[in-house]
Amino acid sequence: MNLINGKEVAAKLKQDIAAETASWVASGGKRPYLVAVLVGEDGASQTYVGHKEKACREVGFDSRVVRLDAGISESELLEVIEGLNRDAEVDGFIVQLPLPKHISEQRVIEAISPEKDVDGFHPENTGRMITGLDAYIPATPDGILELLKYYQIETSGKHCVVIGRSNIVGRPIANLLSMKGYPGDCTVTLCHSRTANLKEVVRTGDIVIAALGVAEFVTADMIKEGAVVIDVGITRVKSDTSKNGFKLLGDVKFDEVAPKCSYITPVPGGVGPMTIVSLMKNTLKAARRRSAK
Ligand code: GUN
């Protein structure tokens, strides 16, 4: 069994982005500027946004967090977004999800200018991505592709089983792995809560991507000997033994599944750190694209 070390790969790729940024700025390019919009006080979202700010500093980007009260109305939030769309200094921005219940995430995503949509959530970017055009690829699917490439994991002709059909992970990664060329050319099955005989289907996967958001759902009896297992889950559960009072669990029961795998990602330290790198990649791309105009 080979452990996929996302933390180590992310650190290396971040160094590459820092070097690219330094030479871009030295040659007169505009320093990339990322803004994160954070609505409310959700603990996990605050942590993620904190990680994104830290990564910006590390690679040499400017960044800012716009903190808004949980009670902000949808139209007020849409005005903030319009302001960021117009702000010539801002290369890219994200609105951290989830949003409070009274705000439509879809309306918010569609309000973001596709050129500044470094999350790659706008339908224009989704459409461009699935037709193979240049687009911002969402961070988690892109992070998974980077891990497959880094470990030179064969994908051509493999059966990839994706569990979970979210717009952020399941659907895009299923699409990307079916694309022509490496790391694609997979035969893909996209499973979800209504899939019949789920265990049997997952057991046929050469590559299994668990992205359903149910802690320790994937057990050893669902995994074929020698499979590659990518765990996208991050469920926070209370823990008496950890400093901050909680621990993170993946969608895979790691201890029993790992011995059967050729490669597996741990949680934490697998896909998670890679998502930040992908966001940095997209932000550098945004800054370059805007200068080219
Ligand atoms: N919430 C969980 N993952 C993400 C992400 O990649 N982007 C945003 N904006 N919110 C998230």
How far is residue 93's CA from residue 77's CA, in Å, rounded to a whole number? 13
pLDDT at residue 54, rounded to an integer = 97
Distance 189 CA to ligand 1 centre (A): 24
Ligand 1 atom nearest 94 alpha carbon: 9
Instruction: Using the CB atoms, write b or e for 225-242: b if 16+ within 10 Å.
Output: eebbbbbbbbbeeeeeee
CB proximity list for 149: less than 8 A, separation 6 or greater: 182, 183
Pocket of ligand 1, candidates 109, 119, 280: which has the most ligand atoms within 8 Å of its Cβ, to mutate? 119
Identify whether the C-beta of residue 53 lies closer than 8 Å to the C-beta of residue 36: yes
Has 96 been annotated as catalytic? yes
The 10s digit of each residue's pLDDT in 68-89 is: 999 999 999 999 999 999 999 9
> Do β-strands 159-163 and 207-210 pair in parallel, antiparallel, or remain unpaired?
parallel
Q: Is the pLDDT of residue 90 over 80?
A: yes
Q: Looking at per-residue confidence, does 243 or 116 come out higher?
A: 116
- Catalytic residue of the set 14, 52, 116, 285: 52
| Catalytic site residue from 14, 91, 96, 117 | 96
Q: Residue 287 has what pLDDT?
A: 97
- Alpha-carbon distance of 199 to 95, in angstroms, equals 36
Q: What is the value of pTM for the model shown?
A: 0.97
Query: Ligand 1: residues whose CB is within 6 Å?
Result: 94-97, 119, 139, 275
Please, which pLDDT band fits residue 210 given cuts at 50, 70 and 90? very high
- Say what the pLDDT of residue 291 is: 86
| Residue 283 pLDDT class (50, 70, 90 cuts) | very high
- Residue 139 alpha carbon, nearest atom of ligand 1: 6
* Annotation says 119 is catalytic: yes
Average confidence (pLDDT) over 268-277: 97
pLDDT band at 32 (very low <50, low <70, confident <90, very high): very high
Catalytic residue among 14, 91, 117, 119: 119
Active site residue 15: no
The atom of ligand 1 lying closest to the CA of 97 is: 10
d(CA 132, CA 140): 18
3-state helix, strand, coil in the chain (%, to 5): 45, 15, 40
Residue whose CA is at the smallest distance from ligand 1 atom 3: 97
Residue 218 identity = V
Residue with the smallest CA separation from ligand 1 atom 11 is 97
Residue found by looking up tokens 């320093």 in the block: 31
How close is the Cα of 97 to the center of ligand 1, in Å? 5
Average pLDDT over residues 188-206: 98
- What pLDDT digit, counting tens, does each position of 212-240 carry? 999 999 999 999 999 999 999 999 999 99
pLDDT of residue 97: 96
Nearest CA owner, ligand 1 atom 6:
139
Atom 8 of ligand 1: nearest residue by CA position: 96
- At residue 108 the predicted structure's pLDDT band, cuts being 50, 70 and 90, is very high
